[in-house]
Structure formats: structure tokens, C-alpha cells
């Protein structure tokens, strides 16, 4: 995702620290207190500019959403969307999801979304794919029993790789959809990438798996 440098980003993040939470590790195990209720928590990894998470928060006001985005100038875009939406059930973390256990206690999360994750097609970059087994171990740790990992992509290679990775990890397949938009599911909230690629005629794949 290409982004312009935003010299004002640090000031913006300071002013909006109730939306983009600094020092996320201090909140580990206490996210419900921060939201002020005991609604389930859903996490999106690689939130991008925030269209999915704000759409989901509007559609599901009784769920708390946390978006994790590693690039500062992109999390700023997502925060602007959250502010525009006026939704109180979303917060963002400007963090690398490399070790989720730094931010979340065991079984703290009900659902994890991976949307159009970077495919890292070269074999030598396999470890960076968000469906590599080291990531699955972390998801298993922070997800509740029966918590779901929901993965959407337009990238057939990454989808095939991920299904094999889930299977090797012994995960249960609740859904494997090879053409999501054929369903015309009114509950499907499109991400920025999903809109872009489906407009070009690309198929969108989705899987839902549990541990
Ligand atoms: N999910 C959005 C969408 O579907 O429109 C953005 C997809 S974009 C291809 C992938 C995003 O994931 C980028 O914004 C990137 O910065 C972010 N990302 C990649 N690896 C990450 C990581 N380890 N932790 C947090 N964010 C990550």
C-alpha cells in the first residue's frame, strides 16, 4: 500500500491517543476495561485505511474491534475514518502483529480477520506470510476456544498456501469459499483492496477456520 509521508502524523497520533492506543502492551488482558464493556473483541491484522473495520463496527455495534496496522501513515488514514464514523467500538494499534502475545492475553480475542494480507510470493519470505505456522501458534494462543480466523484474499497462491498451512496445523475448516462475491452476502464488508481487485474482475476467496 503506497503512502505519502505525513510529517504531522506524530502530532495527530498524540491528539488521538484514545483511538490509536500507544503502549498497547500495557493493555494486555485489559482491553474490555478500555472499551468499558464485556462485549467480544474482534481483531483485524493489517487494517490498511480502515474501511473494513469501520464498516464492521457500524454493522455490529455489540462487538469491539481492534485494528492493527504497522505503517504509521496508513494507521493515520484509518484513524481519520474511525473519527468520521463516530463509532466508539473501534480502536487501532500502530504495531507490528509479529508477536500478538505482547498485546493480548490468552483467549482474550473472539475472532481474527486477515484481509488481503501481503502475499510474500518468494519462498525465502514464507515466514513473513501471516498464515505461516508461527503466526497460527500466536492466533491459537490469543483466540478463545472455538474463536475463528477469517481470511479473505484475491491471491490464489496465498490462499492455496494458507489452506495447506491450516491443514498441517490441524485446524478445522468451517468455510472455504472460492468465489465470495457470487454469494451476494449483504453482511460482507468490503476492504479497500477487495473493492479494487473485484472491480478488475478478480475472484475473492474466503476461509473461516477454528483451532
Ligand atoms: N486489509 C487492507 C485491505 O484489504 O484493503 C490492506 C491490505 S494491504 C495489502 C496489507 C496491510 O497490512 C498493509 O497496510 C500493511 O502495512 C499491513 N501489514 C502487513 N504486515 C503487518 C504486520 N505484521 N502487522 C501489522 N500490519 C501489517
96 is in an annotated binding site: yes
Pocket residue to mutate for ligand 1, from 42, 47, 48, most atoms within 8 A of Cβ: 48
CA atoms within 13 A on the CB side of 203: 12
Q: Give 39's strand partners.
A: none
Three-state DSSP class for residue 17 = coil
Three-state DSSP class for residue 103 = coil
- What value of ipTM does the predicted structure carry? 0.99
Q: Are 11 and 81 in contact (CB under 8 A)?
A: no
| Domain ranges (residues) in the chain | 26-210
- Ligand 1 centroid to Cα of residue 26, in Å, is 23
pLDDT value of position 175: 96
Q: What is the pLDDT of residues 161-195, one digit of tens each?
A: 999 999 999 999 999 999 999 988 889 999 999 99
To the question of pTM greater than 0.90 for the whole model, the response is yes
- Ligand 1 centroid to Cα of residue 125, in Å, is 16
148 is in an annotated binding site: no
Active-site pick, 10, 118, 179, 185: 118
Place of cell 518468494: 122
Predicted confidence (pLDDT) at residue 205 exceeds the cutoff of 60: yes
Predicted confidence (pLDDT) at residue 8 exceeds the cutoff of 90: no
Place of cell 481487485: 197
Is position 99 annotated as part of the catalytic site?
A: no
Q: What is the pLDDT of residues 123-170, one digit of tens each?
A: 999 999 999 999 999 999 999 999 999 999 999 999 999 999 999 999
Going by the DSSP 8-state scheme, the letter that residue 190 receives in this structure is: P
Whole-angstrom Cα distance, residue 104 to residue 60?
22
Q: The domain 26-210 belongs to what CATH superfamily?
A: Vaccinia Virus protein VP39 (3.40.50.150)
Instruction: Give the residue with greater pLDDT, 42 vs 5.
Output: 42
- Ligand 1 centroid to Cα of residue 46, in Å, is 3
191 is in an annotated binding site: yes
Q: Residues lining ligand 1, judged by CB closer than 6 Å?
A: 1, 45-48, 68-71, 74, 96-98, 115-118, 191-194
Q: Are 68 and 97 in contact (CB under 8 A)?
A: yes
Which residue from 130, 136, 104 is spatially nearest to 117, judged by alpha carbons?
130
Amino acid at each position: 500500500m503506497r503512502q505519502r509521508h505525513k510529517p504531522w502524523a506524530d502530532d495527530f497520533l498524540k491528539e488521538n491517543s484514545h483511538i490509536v492506543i500507544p503502549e498497547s502492551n500495557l493493555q494486555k488482558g485489559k482491553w474490555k476495561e478500555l472499551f468499558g464493556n464485556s462485549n467480544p473483541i474482534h481483531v483485524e491484522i493489517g487494517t490498511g485505511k480502515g474501511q473494513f473495520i469501520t464498516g464492521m463496527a457500524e454493522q455490529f455495534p455489540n462487538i469491539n474491534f481492534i485494528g492493527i496496522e504497522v505503517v504509521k501513515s496508513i494507521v493515520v488514514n484509518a484513524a481519520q475514518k474511525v473519527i468520521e464514523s463516530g463509532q466508539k467500538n473501534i480502536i487501532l494499534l500502530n504495531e507490528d502483529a509479529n508477536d500478538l502475545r505482547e498485546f493480548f492475553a490468552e483467549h482474550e480475542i473472539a475472532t481474527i480477520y486477515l484481509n488481503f494480507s501481503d502475499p510474500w510470493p518468494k519462498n525465502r519470505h514464507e515466514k513473513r506470510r501471516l498464515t505461516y505456522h508461527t503466526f497460527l501458534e500466536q492466533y491459537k494462543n490469543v483466540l478463545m476456544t472455538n474463536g475463528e480466523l477469517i481470511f479473505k484474499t484475491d491471491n490464489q497462491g496465498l490462499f492455496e498456501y494458507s489452506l495447506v498451512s491450516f491443514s498441517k496445523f490441524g485446524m478445522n475448516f468451517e468455510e472455504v469459499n472460492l468465489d465470495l462475491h457470487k454469494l451476494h452476502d449483504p453482511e460482507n464488508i468490503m476492504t479497500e483492496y477487495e473493492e479494487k481487485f473485484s472491480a478488475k474482475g478478480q475472484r475473492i476467496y474466503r476461509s473461516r477456520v477454528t483451532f
